[in-house]
Amino acid sequence: MADLAAGGAMGVPFTMLYEVIKDVVIKTSMFEPLLEELKSKIEALNPLIDKMDSWNKVLDRPEKELRQFKVQMEKGRELITKCAKLSKLSKWNSYKKYKYSYQLLELQNSLQNLLFILQWQQARDVKETLVGVKHVETRVQQMDVNVAVLKEEGMTVMKETLDEVRNIGTMVQRIDKKGEVQSQIDCEVPEPPLVTVGLDLPLRELKMKLLKNDNVSMLVLTAPGGCGKTTLATKFCQDEEVKGIFKNNIFFITVTKKSTFNLIVQGLHQCKSTDVPMFHNEGTAVKRLRKFLREEGQKPVLLVLDDVWPESECLLEKLDEVKMRNFKILVTSRSQFPEYGSVYPLKSLDDRDAMTLFRHSASLGDGQWNSLAREIIAHCKGYPLAIKVVGKSLRGKPMVFWRKRALQWSKGDSIIDSETEVLLCLQTSLDALDEKEALIKECFLDLGSFPQDQRIPAGALIDMWAELYEDLDKDFLAITNMYELTTRSLADLVVTRKETVEDDDYYSEHFVTQHDLLRQLAVYQAKLDPSKKRLIIGNCGDNLPKCLTEKKHQLIKPRLLSISSDETFSTNLHNIQLADVEVLVLNFNTKSYALPEFVEKMVNLKVLIVTNHGFIPAELSNFHLLDSLPNLKRIRLERVSVPSITKHPIQLKSLKKISLFMCSIGETFSNCSFQISNALPNLEELNIDYCNDLVKLPDDLCNLVRLKKLSITNCHKLSALPQEIGKLEKVEVLRLRSCTDLVKLPCSVKDLKRLDFLDISDCFSIVELPEDIGELSSLRKINMRQCSRLQELPLSILDLEKLEEVICDEETARLWEPFPSGLRDGVVKEVKEEFSLDWLRKFQY
């Protein structure tokens, strides 16, 4: 290095950058993984820089070829110096840490490009030398002086030169039309890590799905970044059974932004040492791939495409066209691509495997295992990358560092705050979303408003997004975005009860779950947002950061405010512009909870979501504070008791939707001292789910003249509906699913002239339907599965002229047999349902 610093276009800035990296790596651990990677890149560049700088002088090459990288190295030295200073600052400098981490990545990419350029220059210079030898040979022939001897010597030089060019070409080789250097396709299967855990079962299942099923030609192995997809794919390729099937026809290709279908097909030919074809278009490449596979005959071919991103979806589309026997494709990706193949989601590690991986990463012996290590592992939630990074960061350090890390996390700090490598790995999933997908990113960030380890009701998200985003004002549009998050491994959508034929915008049994580290990423991104449109206050009671309570700090104007607390939240938030809050999410776990006094200042509040995460309903007080809110449109309450409604008359003129899930409401409805229709004059939708103390609906409910949807599900003690329910003239949906004690429908149901959908599924006690049900002139759909006591249908069924769909089980389908086939055919649909009990437990990955 000292010789290099003596002169040359690149020598001095290169040496200065190298020295500052060595110094900072020793002094700071905040950016340790990135700086170590930079250090290795510098060491790889050292011999090339040394040669090229001296060769350029001898060959009189212009310095401008490397001038850009000289400038970048000088900037890199300044950047790394700033990183060293940042490591001494407080943990609240999240934005600077994030910004500098990305700048370090850019510097790393710049050095990688420099490596390509230097290797390309070597190839160019050698080729020019080869041309010079050719000219010398020609001149010698013209001179006719001992031609035979000199030609033999010239050919020897040419052969040696060609061999050197080929060696260099294995690293670089191709220059595209834009003049950019491209790597050749490397099809060799990489070696898996020396220690792998938790992959034996997934490996067996992969072989079963891809190898044992002739109907599956492409399988997508999917999971968030850092879960071990590539490791599993390499183990799959190295498996003896797999190698026995495919022998020498296993091709492992890591997909990059520059990977094209043409380049992949060329790579397959290159790996088989055949002539590498050139293609004018992708259609020609498809034909050539088919020819390539036919030439292999009966030999099975396995193609692994590793790390495929949505922008490379066109590769899968083209490969999907080439469906041939004995051609199997394994794709690893953070996205699912369900339209192109079967999907295999890779789960996180269980406790036992997580312990094994951590023990290896931290270099722990048998005697060093203790409860502190278990506590640290528990925070990693089975996420392999986090386990490896945390284990490595604690390797060899005194136990006090372990205790400090565990204490920080127990107080609410996240792994993402302390481990940059984990942050950057997960962050790439968000960075992959382009401008057209900005709304998907916003929805992902909103998931951070809910506590970790808890399922998020789809209904709560629908209410939030309908008011926050104009493009999601329909329930099915919100569900679409939930599926988009699922296909990108940013969340999971769990449906506890699924019917193969049903599309009635009923999402009370849909839940979103998310790995804790992804939630931490959402919270972290909310901190970075300069507009602060989300404010997420964690489970810290009244012990809030000073920036939220002291008046001297900058005023924050969030649209969404989320507060999680184990007790009543009474802190005054001095520097928050409460009038700008449109969505308020309150999470707690206590026997009683009072709405914070500052709620009455939220004059623009549109959505209120209150969730008790305890096992029994908690008493909710201060409900009267909502009386002063002129824009409140949606309220969702979960596991709460609301007797205060009966004590303090209120009027919520703007309220259009109220959802009660697992609430105690029997006393509220039976002892109400005022008219519900006066309190909720503009209510359009009422959802009551799993409210076990509901025995009877109040008669005044029939005076909600603007009501369009009435949904009462899983209320097993409900035995009767109000006789005057027919007064709800605007009702379009009447859902009475799983009300097992309900004996009959009132005769006045016939007056619901706008009723479009009637759901009485799982109402086991209903014996008969109203005789005049045929007067429901707008009825389009009926769900009557599992109405096992229903013996016959009234003849007026024939008058349902707009009836399009009747959902039945095998038994209820027989009730339609006496009716004309013109009514039955294409209308009566016998379906089966699937149940899931996942929602009864805390979700784990």
| Nearest in space to 500 (alpha carbons), one of 146, 831, 844, 27 | 831
Q: Pairing state of beta strands 174-175 and 181-182? A: antiparallel
pLDDT at 550 over 90: no
pLDDT at 318 over 60: yes
User: Would you list the DSSP string of 53-112?
Assistant: HHHHHHHT--THHHHHHHHHHHHHHHHHHHHHHHTTS-TT-HHHHHHHHHHHHHHHHHHH
Average pLDDT over residues 4-8: 41
What was the pLDDT predicted at 645? 58
pLDDT at 73 over 80: no
What percentage of the chain reaches a pLDDT higher than 70?
72
Instruction: Give the CATH number of domain 423-517.
Output: 1.10.10.10
pLDDT band at 673 (very low <50, low <70, confident <90, very high): low
What was the pLDDT predicted at 387? 93
101 against 92, higher pLDDT: 101
pLDDT band at 347 (very low <50, low <70, confident <90, very high): very high
What are the structural domain ranges in the chain?
A: 2-176, 200-345, 351-411, 423-517, 695-845
Q: Beta-strand (E) ranges in 544-602? A: 560-565, 583-588, 592-594
3-class SS letters over 185-242: CCCCCCCCCCCCCCCHHHHHHHHHHHHCCCCCCEEEEECCCCCCHHHHHHHHHHCHHH
- Residue found under tokens 């044992």: 212
Q: What is the pLDDT of residues 408-462, one digit of tens each?
A: 888 778 888 888 888 888 898 888 888 889 999 999 999 999 988 889 999 999 9
| Nearest in space to 578 (alpha carbons), one of 611, 546, 607, 555 | 555
What separation, in Å, do the N-terminal and C-terminal C-alpha atoms of the chain show?
A: 49
Average pLDDT over residues 336-359: 91
Instruction: Give the CATH number of domain 200-345.
Output: 3.40.50.300
Average pLDDT over residues 175-203: 72
What was the pLDDT predicted at 115? 60
Q: What phi-psi label fits residue 427: left (phi over 0), alpha (psi between -120 and 50 degrees) or beta? A: alpha
Mean pLDDT for the chain overall: 80
Q: What is the pLDDT of residues 248-307, one digit of tens each?
A: 899 999 998 778 888 888 888 888 776 777 777 888 888 888 888 888 777 899 999 999
Q: Pairing state of beta strands 492-495 and 510-513? A: antiparallel
pLDDT at 178 over 50: no
What percentage of the chain reaches a pLDDT higher than 90?
40
- Whether the full predicted model's pTM is greater than 0.85, yes or no, is no
What secondary structure letter does DSSP report for 607? E
Q: What phi-psi label fits residue 412: left (phi over 0), alpha (psi between -120 and 50 degrees) or beta? A: left
pLDDT at 757 over 90: yes
What was the pLDDT predicted at 663? 93
Q: What is the pLDDT of residues 460-500, one digit of tens each?
A: 999 999 999 988 888 888 888 999 999 999 999 888 876 64
pLDDT at 176 over 60: no
Average pLDDT over residues 343-359: 92
What's 695-845's CATH class?
alpha beta
What secondary structure letter does DSSP report for 273? T
pLDDT band at 237 (very low <50, low <70, confident <90, very high): very high
276-285, 516-525, 671-680, 754-763 — most confident range: 754-763
What was the pLDDT predicted at 4? 37
pLDDT band at 586 (very low <50, low <70, confident <90, very high): very high
Lowest mean pLDDT among 76-85, 416-425, 680-689, 725-734: 76-85
pLDDT at 230 over 70: yes
**Apex CA 398: angle with CA 393 and CA 399, to 5°?**
95
Return the SS3 of 750.
helix
